Amino acid sequence: MPDISLPESDAIANARRSMEVCNACRYCEGYCAVFPAMELRREFSAVDLGYLANLCHGCRACFYACQYAPPHPFGVNLPQQFSEVRAETYVAYAWPQPLARLFRRNGTVMSIAAALGVALLLVLVATLRDSAVLFGTHTGPGAFYRVIPLWLMVAVASVTFLYALLAMGLSVLRFWRAEEPLADSTPGALWTGLRDALTLRYLGGGGHGCNDTDGGFSDSRRRLHHALFYGFMFCFASTSVAAIYQDIFGWAAPYAPLSVPVVLGTLGGIGMVVGGAGLIWLKVIGDTEPVARAVLGGEYALLFLLLLVATTGLLLLMLRATPAMGVALAVHLGFVLALFLLMPYSKFVHGLYRAVALWRAARERK
């Protein structure tokens, strides 16, 4: 792999300036993993800043506690400055590099992709399927496949999903390899990093909740993120179980309301709707000062796309025995298609970068 580095930029320069202030202050070291990792360094290369920025969960505890936050002339605003650096790491480490440009104006890109995904599916089913089939009522095994053939669903899903995995995997590997290698790793550190990522330990503001919207402490953001993330994982599990049913047992969808795929999907969908809508709400009502405006579009776009995937999925469940099923299925799969195609070029990658950064932090602490 070629030598990977993070280019110098205004965002890097701002973050470096702030880290130099923080490293001389250190009042925030009880808040999260960023500060102990910072204290191990005296100088901050662009790559170091990319790593520290990805350790930052944007909980804002340090912003409200900061004696050097604006209007102080030092202007330390880590949530904002690190958010900008994180966005630059996603661009710099994206694979393949030509597609990194999708991160520019990411909100617009994602919105267009979502619109195109839905339009494509609708046009395809409308032109390839007789309207009697599209608007007919289908029940029993294989009902969905009368609208969209199984082979097409499997082919598109496998290709997009495997591509997303490959692109995200290679991108996060580039991030991983940009930092100086550490001597060795223990299973303990991997476990710590994984646990910290999966529990969102550092959205806890040192144990008192984080500053979701203003100077007050709360756990809302952490809980909503859990709802969204674990909701997504439930939906993913639902699809996986359905694939096993289909391919191994030959049981064709749709499945009964109390079947494993439907229960998992329903719970997951509800979690995603609650989490997605809640996180959007926190963004809307939150203090905008610690927010990086440039990345806001992409963040909103991903949240809305996840919300739409979940909502249309639940809608499909409700409408599956009605003549609206065909259109609902096409719309749902249109959003899912857009999500998976854009996944490696959206804020979705932050979880992988975060987990890798937390693992590294755990290893550095040893």
Per CB under 8 A, 288 contacts other proteins: no
Pick the stretch among 62-70, 131-139, 171-179, 299-307 that binds other proteins (CB under 8 A): 62-70
Judged by CB under 8 A, the residue of 6, 61, 307, 331 near other proteins is 61
Pick the stretch among 21-29, 122-130, 157-165, 249-257 that binds other proteins (CB under 8 A): 21-29
HSE-CB for 176 with a 13 A CA cutoff: 13
Per CB under 8 A, 362 contacts other proteins: no
Question: Which residue, 20 or 233, has its beta carbon nearer to other proteins?
Answer: 20
- For the segment 72-131, give every residue that binds other proteins (CB under 8 A): 72-74
Question: Which residue, 76 or 178, has its beta carbon nearer to other proteins?
Answer: 76
Per CB under 8 A, 25 contacts other proteins: yes
Q: What is the CA radius of gyration of the chain?
A: 22
Per CB under 8 A, 28 contacts other proteins: yes
What are φ and ψ of residue 93, in 5° steps?
A: -100, 0
Closest contact distance (angstroms) between CB of 288 and other proteins is: 15
183/12 Cα distance (integer angstroms) = 27
Question: Which residue, 61 or 114, has its beta carbon nearer to other proteins?
Answer: 61
Judged by CB under 8 A, the residue of 4, 21, 150, 198 near other proteins is 21
- Contact by Cβ (8 Å): 62, 4: no
270/344 Cα distance (integer angstroms) = 24
Question: Which residue, 215 or 323, has its beta carbon nearer to other proteins?
Answer: 215
Q: How many CB atoms lie within 10 A of CB 131?
A: 10
* Token pair in block for residue 31: 């808040």
Pick the stretch among 23-31, 196-204, 305-313, 354-362 that binds other proteins (CB under 8 A): 23-31
- Contact by Cβ (8 Å): 251, 261: no
Judged by CB under 8 A, the residue of 51, 64, 90, 348 near other proteins is 64
Closest contact distance (angstroms) between CB of 21 and other proteins is: 5
Beta bridge partners of 218: 210
270/172 Cα distance (integer angstroms) = 29
- Contact by Cβ (8 Å): 246, 296: no
Pick the stretch among 31-39, 127-135, 228-236, 254-262 that binds other proteins (CB under 8 A): 31-39
299/278 Cα distance (integer angstroms) = 13
Place of tokens 């939906």: 235
Per CB under 8 A, 216 contacts other proteins: yes
Judged by CB under 8 A, the residue of 1, 2, 7, 24 near other proteins is 24
Per CB under 8 A, 29 contacts other proteins: yes
178/93 Cα distance (integer angstroms) = 9
- Contact by Cβ (8 Å): 32, 206: yes
Per CB under 8 A, 23 contacts other proteins: yes
362/188 Cα distance (integer angstroms) = 8
* Token pair in block for residue 169: 């995997």
Closest contact distance (angstroms) between CB of 29 and other proteins is: 7
Binding residues for other proteins, rule: CB under 8 A, are 20-21, 23-25, 27-31, 36, 39, 42, 61-62, 64-68, 70-74, 206-208, 215-216
